[in-house]
Every structure is written in C-alpha cells, then in structure tokens.
C-alpha cells in the first residue's frame, strides 16, 4: 500500500509546505505518491516529479480544480483514496479546509497538525495552544493527517524525475465558486519558512512606527510578523499574524518587539530556535518564552540594533 | 431563514492549563469554563443576520455534559432564540460531533450553519468541514465577512497569503474567524430573558448516532521546557550573544 501527499501549489510551482509534508510522509512509510490537482498545472507536476522520496506523481488538470475549492478537491482525493494507507496535506489554509471533508467521507477521524511521527499509526500533536502535547493513535484503515510544516525539514530536490500519471479530474460540484482574492505580495521571505522573523506588537504604537520593524527585518533578511493586537490595531494586514489563530513559525531567530506574549502568540513561536524579546515592561510574559531579553523603549533599542548590525 | 450555531464549552482562554499527573489529559475539574471564543463570534454573526432581517430564527446547539447548558444560556443571552443540548458524558471527537450535528440539521432544516473555525482546547479545526461533507453542502472556513443574498452566501475567507472571496449555494456551512465581528457583551437583563428561552435535551442514543472513535489519545504531556531567559543590559551585549552564543546572525 502507498501513501498519498496532496501537493500545495499556485498552478505555477510547488509551495514550500509540500516539501515538508513529503518528509513527514516518508516517516509513515515508503512509496509516496504526490497528487497535483489544479488547472494548467503541468509545470507543477514536473517539479513534483523531482521531489526526492516521491515514487509517482498523479496529475488532475481541469478548470474546476483551479482554485482548490474544497468541494472539488475533496472529491478528487476521494476518487483515489481507497488505494492508500495514509493521506497527508500541509496544515495550511487549503489543507485544513479540505482534509476534514475527505476524512468525514471516509468515515475516519482526522489528526490535525502533527508535529511528530512516532510510528505509522501514532503521532504527536499540540493541543491547548501548544501548552500540551497529545500522543494519538489511529486505528482507522486510512490515516488522514495534516502536517505542521515547521516541525519537519523540507524534502530534497533530485535530478531524476519519476513518472507523471494523468488521472481523470472530477466534475465541478456546482455548489461553490471562486469570486476573487487579494494577496499581500511582499519582497521579503515567506513568514512560515523564513530563517529569521521580526515581529511587532501593540507596543510598536502605529502603522508608521511599524516601518522600524520592517527596517530591522530588511537588515537581517528576515520576514515580518505581528501579534494579533498589532493586526487588530490596523498596523499590518492579518496574513502577518503569528500565533494560535495565525501562522505557526519556527525560525532560527525570532525577535519579538513590543509584544506582551499572550499564550495565543507564544503558541505560534515556541518552536523557534532562539527567541529575543524587546519590551519596556520587565514583567511582560514574553520574557518567560524568550532566550534573550532586553528591557527598554523600542524606539531607542531597535535603531540601536539596526546600527549594530552594520 | 433559519441559522444553526453549534457551540462548545471549553476551558476559558485565560486559564493557564494543568496537565493531569497521570498524563491522561488536561485538568478540567474546578477550572473556569466558557464558550469557545470562535463560537461566540459565530453566534454574534447569526444575531447580526437576524437584526439585518436576513435570518428569522437562530438555534444554538451544544454536545457534551449537562453543564454545557450554561453556554447555551449565554448563546441565548447574545440572541439565539432557542437551543438544543445533546447530552453525553462521552469524550467527543470532531467526527462524532459532526455526526450528531448532521442529525440535528436533518431535523431542523437550517439554511446556514455557522461554527467557530476551531475549538481552543483540541485545536482541531475539523467539525465544520466534516459536517459540510456529510451533508454534501458547500463550505467556507475562516470567514471574516459574510453576506447573504439571492440564495447565496458571499464569503471572504482569511487564507495564508491574504483573503479570498467565494460564493456558496445555500444551504451551506461557514466557520467564523476572529475578524468576522466583535461579539457583544452579555447584559444582565438579557441573561434573565435567556433563562425563559427553551432548551430541548436529547442524546446521541436518541438521535441514533454512534460516538465511537478509532482515534485514541495515549497520553498528554508538557511541551519541552525552554531554558530560562538571559536578560541583557544593552544592544551590544545582545548582538554579541546572538553572534557568538546562539550563532543565529
């Protein structure tokens, strides 16, 4: 029996999350198949055929799959699901939307955001905003899993390509349709895979002041993040939010500036290798989560830090 | 139209949780419990749809122990018209809850089900999607804007790199994100009024639903502890530590 990984892509190229998910799949067993479902996604399938550890790529190419609508994506996965022992997708916004639909139709449980594969049927996952780790065993015949990508290294790229097999695309459900989207394009590295992340909170004070956070990030070649308070205050768009309800990051270095450190925020950063907190309140809970802390006014400390990095 | 809103009783989001010494789970005895914050947003949205003249009736439903009645009262104080308690002592997983909700939907025939996007205890983010799948209804998860018109729901979803707008054919299932709205405070007079609103009680057995699961939690443990924070006096020391000790810049 084989393992199916759902590739995440934008119809042009694979998203990084796919590579991490393949690594998690390889810990569950061998013979990994990658499903590339999309529209005019041949280039994605070619890229997928060169992911190390993958033995076959299945491509479903149709207009109905262009925007990865969960109604259609779930049907596409279900059309081939019976041949697999495990079905994995990254725990991204589309993976989270589709996989429970797949599990329910198979009448199996779904295990969300696994952070460790203990054996082919036993997994670890965080609960209560990362304040507890549950070890979960599945006796379901098909294990449906989403993968916390920051917990697994990306699979390598290889020079040789495995076969790409075209499979029939399912018909459009007719129940939902795509209208539009707005993406916040940035020249900085992608938040969830950046090596360094600099985040600002409510303490930053204003959208203009957030420029300071961006300058520090640019100095370090880092991605910019934010706490929920900074997003709600309108300093930055919501896709920069880090935490239980935003993005989960695990960079080598996370710098929290003017962030108090609510448990929901810490849930999104606690697996970072090194955490630095800059805050004027010495009692801020962020210092309990940090490796290095400095107390003071961010308007003085951040420019000093930028200058010190020259 | 009728809106159904499932709500869950969870450990209050401000509580610092404790893991049971035997590793069987998280301590919930004598701990403050509240409505899951995302479910409050779901109820608030339903009430706003009623205030806008779109919805005619709002039904809150909760699956769990007798005490879950408390959060159904809160839902009715926010504005739900009546509620259903599906009483069980069993530990329910999202698949079982979705099976129960499917039965309730078949009985009540709502045009829209609004759930929270995830519960802050199991952090699963599954129930809404599973319910939609079982009903073969369209879904939109992590919704931050909702407009009902001409038998359709126009929804804006929060996605990884921005926002996406979809059109769903009703009936549909949507799950609420934090930014959908700001739930109103429950006032004392509304809490008093909520006491008079009806709560119907049923059980998974009466609904003919199995709550069995083939997923077992073997143990619950503390996450690995971080070493204690080192406070540094100035930026020069910080940069030197990051370079020489942590070796991250």
pLDDT digits (tens, 9 = 90+) for A285-302: 999 999 999 999 999 999
Per-residue pLDDT, averaged over A153-175, amounts to: 96
Distance CA B63, CA B76 (A): 16
| A274–B123 CB contact, under 8 Å | no
Residue A79: band (very low, low, confident or very high) from pLDDT cuts 50, 70, 90: very high
Q: What is the 3-state secondary structure (H, E, C) of A195-234?
A: CEEEEECHHHCCCCCHHHHHHHHHHHCCEEEECHHHHHCC
Evaluate if residue B24 carries a pLDDT over 90: yes
| B123–A126 CB contact, under 8 Å | yes
Distance CA A76, CA A39 (A): 13
According to DSSP, the β-strands at A164-166 and A54-61 are parallel
Bridge partner residues of B37 (DSSP) = none
| Average pLDDT taken over every residue of chain B | 97
| pLDDT value, residue A302 | 98
Q: In chain B, whose CA is at the least distance from the CA of A137?
A: B216
| pLDDT value, residue A1 | 83
| Distance between A16 CA and the closest CA of chain B, angstroms | 13
Question: Residue A24: in which H helix or E strand, if any?
Answer: helix A16-26
ipTM for the complex shown = 0.95
Quote the crossing angle between the two packed helices B127-135 and A70-78, to the nearest 10°. 70
| pLDDT value, residue A54 | 98
Chain A residues near residue B168 by CB distance under 8 angstroms: 175-176
Residue with tokens 């962030």: A259
| Distance between B96 CA and the closest CA of chain A, angstroms | 9
Residue A195: band (very low, low, confident or very high) from pLDDT cuts 50, 70, 90: very high
Q: Please, where are the H alpha helices in B79-187?
A: 94-108, 127-135
| Distance between A284 CA and the closest CA of chain B, angstroms | 12
C-alpha to C-alpha distances, A234 to A207, B14, B146, nearest whole angstrom:
7, 24, 20
Question: Residue A25: in which H helix or E strand, if any?
Answer: helix A16-26
| pLDDT value, residue B70 | 97
Any idea how long chain B is?
249
Question: Token pair of A299, please?
Answer: 């308007």
Residue A245: band (very low, low, confident or very high) from pLDDT cuts 50, 70, 90: confident
Chain A residues near residue B159 by CB distance under 8 angstroms: 93-94, 181, 239
Evaluate if residue A310 carries a pLDDT over 90: no
| pLDDT value, residue B228 | 94
| pLDDT value, residue A12 | 96
pLDDT tens figures, B143-153: 999 999 999 99
DSSP A156-178: PB-SS---EEE-PPPPP-SSEEE
Distance CA B206, CA A6 (A): 38
Distance of CA A204 to the CA centre of its chain: 26
Question: Token pair of A275, please?
Answer: 């955490």
| pLDDT value, residue A183 | 87
With contact defined as beta carbons under 8 Å apart, do A158 and A47 qualify? no
Question: Residue A256: in which H helix or E strand, if any?
Answer: strand A253-257
Distance CA B119, CA A128 (A): 9
Nearest to B226 by CA among A294, A129, A289, A292: A289
Distance CA A49, CA A159 (A): 10
Q: Please report the number of interchain residue pairs, chain A to chain B, with beta-carbon separation below 8 angstroms.
A: 245
Q: Please, where are the H alpha helices in chain B?
A: 37-51, 69-78, 94-108, 127-135, 188-196, 204-207, 235-244
According to DSSP, the β-strands at A196-200 and A223-226 are parallel
Of A94, A264, A305, the CB nearest to B235: A305
Per-residue pLDDT, averaged over B207-224, amounts to: 94
| Distance between A177 CA and the closest CA of chain B, angstroms | 5
| pLDDT value, residue B216 | 96
Question: Token pair of A23, please?
Answer: 């690594």
Chain A residues near residue B143 by CB distance under 8 angstroms: none
| pLDDT value, residue B225 | 86
Residue with tokens 């403050």: B32
According to DSSP, the β-strands at A122-127 and A116-119 are antiparallel
| B98–A104 CB contact, under 8 Å | yes
Per-residue pLDDT, averaged over A94-112, amounts to: 98
- DSSP class of B184: P
pTM as predicted? 0.95
Q: In chain A, whose CA is at the least distance from the CA of B142?
A: A93
Chain B residues near residue A171 by CB distance under 8 angstroms: none
DSSP B4-51: EEE--EEE-TTS---B-TTSSSB--TTS-EEE-HHHHHHHHHHHHHHH
| Distance between B45 CA and the closest CA of chain A, angstroms | 18
| A288: CB partners within 8 A, 6+ apart | A261, B229
> Under DSSP, is residue A287 helix (H, G, I), strand (E, B) or coil?
helix
With contact defined as beta carbons under 8 Å apart, do A3 and A143 qualify? no
According to DSSP, the β-strands at B57-64 and B2-6 are parallel
| pLDDT value, residue B106 | 98
| pLDDT value, residue A186 | 78
Chain A residues near residue B154 by CB distance under 8 angstroms: 179
Of A104, A135, A184, the CB nearest to B161: A184
pLDDT tens figures, B83-126: 999 999 999 999 999 999 999 999 999 999 999 999 999 999 99
């Amino acid at each position: 029996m084989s393992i199916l990984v759902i590739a995440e892509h934008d119809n042009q190229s694979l998203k990084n999350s796919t590579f991490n998910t393949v690594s998690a799949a390889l810990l569950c067993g061998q013979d990994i198949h990658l499903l590339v479902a999309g529209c005019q996604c041949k280039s994605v399938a070619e890229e997928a055929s060169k992911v190390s550890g993958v033995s076959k790529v299945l491509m479903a190419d149709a207009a109905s799959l262009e925007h990865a609508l969960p109604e259609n994506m779930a049907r596409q996965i279900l059309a081939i699901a019976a041949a697999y022992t495990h079905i994995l997708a990254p725990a991204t916004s589309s993976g989270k939307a589709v996989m429970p639909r797949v599990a329910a139709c198979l009448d199996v449980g779904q295990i969300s955001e696994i952070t460790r594969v203990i054996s082919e049927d036993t997994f670890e996952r965080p609960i209560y905003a990362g304040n507890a780790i549950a070890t979960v065993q599945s006796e379901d015949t098909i294990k449906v899993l989403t993968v916390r990508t920051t917990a697994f290294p990306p699979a390598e790229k290889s020079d040789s390509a495995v076969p790409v097999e075209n499979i029939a695309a399912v018909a459009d459900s007719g129940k939902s349709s795509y209208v539009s989207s707005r993406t916040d394009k940035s020249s900085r590295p992608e938040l969830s895979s950046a090596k360094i992340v600099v985040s600002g909170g409510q303490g930053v004070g204003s959208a203009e002041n957030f420029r300071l956070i961006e300058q520090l990030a640019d100095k370090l070649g880092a991605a910019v993040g934010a706490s929920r308070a900074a997003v709600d205050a309108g300093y930055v768009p919501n896709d920069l939010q880090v935490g239980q309800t935003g993005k989960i990051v695990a960079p080598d270095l996370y710098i929290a500036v003017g962030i108090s450190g609510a448990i929901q925020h810490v849930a999104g950063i606690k697996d970072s290798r090194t955490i630095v907190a800059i805050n004027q309140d010495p009692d801020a809970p962020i210092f309990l989560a940090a490796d290095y802390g400095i107390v003071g006014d961010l308007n003085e400390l951040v420019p000093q830090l930028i200058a010190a990095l020259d | 139209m009728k809106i159904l809103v499932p709500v869950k009783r969870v450990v209050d989001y401000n509580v610092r949780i404790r893991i049971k010494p035997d590793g069987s789970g998280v301590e919930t005895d004598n701990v403050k419990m509240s409505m899951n914050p995302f479910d409050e947003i779901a109820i608030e949205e339903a009430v706003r749809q009623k205030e806008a003249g779109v919805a005619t009736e709002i039904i809150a439903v909760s699956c769990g122990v007798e005490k879950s009645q408390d959060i159904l009262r809160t839902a009715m104080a926010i504005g739900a018209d009546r509620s259903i308690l599906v009483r069980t002592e069993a530990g329910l997983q999202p698949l079982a809850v979705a099976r129960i909700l499917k039965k309730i939907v078949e009985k009540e025939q709502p045009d829209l089900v609004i759930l929270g996007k995830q519960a802050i205890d199991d952090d699963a983010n599954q129930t809404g999607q599973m319910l939609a799948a079982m009903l073969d209804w369209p879904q939109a998860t992590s919704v931050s804007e909702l407009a009902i018109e001409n038998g359709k729901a126009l929804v804006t979803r929060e996605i990884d790199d921005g926002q996406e707008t979809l059109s769903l054919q009703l009936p549909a299932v949507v799950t609420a994100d934090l930014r959908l709205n700001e739930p109103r405070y429950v006032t004392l007079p509304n809490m008093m009024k909520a006491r008079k609103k009806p709560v119907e009680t049923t059980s998974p057995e009466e609904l003919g639903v199995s709550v069995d699961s083939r997923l077992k939690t073997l143990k619950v443990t503390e996450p690995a502890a971080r070493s204690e924070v080192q406070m540094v006096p100035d930026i020069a020391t910080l940069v030197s530590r990051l370079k020489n000790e942590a070796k991250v810049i």
